[in-house]
């Protein structure tokens, strides 16, 4: 467990042992105000405001012998400015999310490793596969007192309603392709359905077209169970399910049938689970832990798999192996890039949110 803090508009959590960690776990951060976090990740998920004037999203400021200031501001045209002042060392970094395409909700990760004199700013969009990354000047460690204050409601800080949540990890967290199925999800194999957590490199699974394909890797990642990573509950028998499953909002399902052909002129389409909410078949899980662990399979050719009877997309990594810096920042870090596949574009069109809701309503009716 590496996530120690989580806050949104209503709740706040700072647990030195780690969010959802057992009570006998050791503390991941010191108890004194001047104890230092030498490495970590500050994650901010926020809506991009549509305003003709600059808008402050986050602001925290503390004076003293070792001043600390952090602010995030949205500027007209879709830009963001991050200002970080630690003991007089000032970072002023602008980033333009619009370079990655249409903007809605974005995740901004500030990661640092002070002993290695390394820091990175990464921006991801919840419905896009592109990642913008910037290497930053050598960072300072974060005081434990400032970490706690940043995640405590009160007049000492400002967090705009546009901010979905903030989270803090004691590790440099990966960015890029993310696993999106719960580890207990049943996956079709030549030996019958097996839990995803039991599958290993070299095992085989049955693709949706009936082919038997090898598992290259099973990847996992633990993330805050909120916002764009809050688990979704998909109920059987909708979408061909033999039993209920829980998935990340970004997990894409392959939908087929007469309604798909009638509405979209295609035999099959891809649709993120998040776009299917609103009816009885797909709903966000209301009560969950503070974090969730997702897993997913990496297959040779972006094959679709049978997950409890429904057709789901396996992990898509595009041409990540050709981008060493992005690969090193991802959940695949440490794997030999020469053994990774190239994944091209999906053969299925991806539904827009409005079209997905129409389809979901027709299927439930």
pLDDT in 10s for each residue of the chain, 365 residues = 699 999 998 889 999 999 999 999 999 999 999 999 999 999 999 998 887 788 999 999 988 888 899 999 998 877 899 999 988 889 999 988 665 555 578 999 999 999 999 999 999 986 667 889 999 999 999 999 999 999 998 888 999 999 999 999 999 999 999 999 999 999 999 999 999 999 999 999 999 999 999 999 999 999 999 999 999 999 999 889 999 999 999 999 998 888 888 788 888 889 999 988 877 788 888 878 999 999 999 999 989 999 999 999 999 999 999 999 999 999 999 999 999 999 988 888 888 887 877 776 666 55
Please name the residue that has the structure tokens 């500050």. Answer: 42
| pLDDT for the residue 65 | 81
Domain-embedded: residue 174: no
Q: Is residue 309 part of a domain?
A: yes
Domain boundary among 107, 141, 169: 169
286: left (phi over 0), alpha (psi -120 to 50) or beta: alpha
Is 209 inside a domain boundary?
yes
Domain of residue 143, residue span: 3-169
The CATH number of residue 297's host domain is 2.170.16
The answer as to whether 226 is a domain residue is yes
320 occurs within a structural domain: yes
Asked if residue 356 and residue 262 are part of one domain, the reply reads yes
Which of 169, 203, 235 is the endpoint of a domain?
A: 169
On the 0-12 / 13-18 / 19+ scale of CB atoms within 10 A, 161 is exposed
- Both 122 and 215 in one domain: the answer is no
Same domain, yes or no, for 191 and 164? no
Both 8 and 86 in one domain: the answer is yes
My answer on whether 75 and 100 are in the same domain is: yes
Indicate if 192 and 164 belong to the same structural domain: no
Q: Is residue 177 domain-resident? A: no
Q: Which of 176, 179, 170, 228 is nearest to 1 (CA)?
A: 170
- 194-221: buried (b, 16+ CB within 10 Å) or exposed (e) per residue? bebbebeeebebbbbeeeebebbbbbeb
Last residue of a domain, one of 169, 203, 234: 169
Task: Give pLDDT, residue 102.
Answer: 52
Question: Do 151 and 225 lie in a common domain?
Answer: no
- Residue 298, both tokens: 């990496």
Angle at 348 between CA 346 and CA 354, to 5 degrees: 115
Are residues 265 and 315 part of one domain? yes
113, 249: one domain? no
Domain holding 62: CATH number?
2.60.120
Per-residue confidence (pLDDT) for residue 258, from 0 to 100: 82
Q: Is the pTM of this model over 0.85?
A: yes
Number of domains in the chain: 2
Residue 235, in any domain of the structure: yes
pLDDT of residue 341: 94
> What pLDDT score was predicted for residue 365?
52
Whether residues 165 and 190 fall in one domain: no
pLDDT for residue 64: 81
Is 196 in the same domain as 340? yes
Asked whether residue 179 is assigned to any structural domain, the reply reads no
**Chain position carrying tokens 């001047």:** 34
Note whether 133 and 197 are same-domain residues: no
Burial class (CB in 10 A: 0-12, 13-18, 19+), 32: exposed
């Amino acid at each position: 467990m590496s996530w120690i803090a989580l806050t949104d508009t209503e709740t706040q959590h700072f647990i030195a042992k780690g969010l959802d960690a057992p009570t006998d776990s050791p503390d991941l951060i010191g108890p004194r105000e001047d104890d230092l976090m030498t490495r970590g990740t500050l994650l901010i998920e926020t809506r991009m405001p549509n305003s003709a004037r600059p808008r402050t999203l986050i602001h925290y400021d503390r004076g003293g012998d070792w001043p600390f200031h952090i602010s995030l501001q949205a500027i007209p045209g879709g830009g963001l400015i991050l200002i970080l002042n630690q003991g007089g060392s000032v970072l002023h970094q602008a980033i333009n999310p619009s370079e990655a395409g249409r903007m809605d909700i974005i995740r901004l990760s500030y990661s640092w490793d002070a002993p290695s004199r390394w820091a990175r700013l990464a921006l991801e969009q919840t419905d896009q596969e592109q990642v913008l990354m910037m290497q930053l000047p050598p960072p300072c460690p974060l005081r434990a007192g400032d970490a706690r204050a940043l995640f405590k409601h009160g007049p000492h800080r400002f967090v705009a309603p546009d901010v979905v949540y903030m989270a803090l990890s004691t590790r440099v967290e990966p960015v890029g392709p993310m696993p999106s199925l719960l580890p207990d999800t049943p996956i079709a194999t030549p030996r019958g359905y097996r839990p995803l957590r039991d599958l290993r490199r070299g095992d085989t699974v049955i693709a949706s077209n009936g082919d038997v394909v090898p598992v290259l890797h099973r990847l996992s990642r633990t993330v805050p169970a909120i916002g764009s990573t809050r688990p979704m509950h998909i109920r059987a028998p909708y979408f061909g399910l033999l039993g209920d499953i829980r998935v990340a909002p970004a997990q894409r399902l392959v939908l087929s049938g007469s309604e798909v052909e009638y509405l979209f002129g295609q035999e099959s389409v891809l649709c993120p689970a998040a776009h299917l909410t609103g009816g009885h078949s797909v709903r966000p899980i209301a009560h969950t832990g503070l974090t969730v662990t997702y897993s997913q399979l990496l297959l040779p050719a972006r094959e679709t798999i049978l997950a409890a009877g429904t057709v789901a997309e396996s992990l898509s990594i595009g041409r990540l192996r050709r981008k060493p810096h992005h690969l090193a920042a991802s959940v695949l870090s440490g794997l030999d890039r020469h053994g990774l596949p190239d994944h091209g574009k999906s053969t299925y069109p991806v539904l827009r949110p409005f079209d997905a809701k129409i389809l979901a309503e027709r299927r439930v009716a």
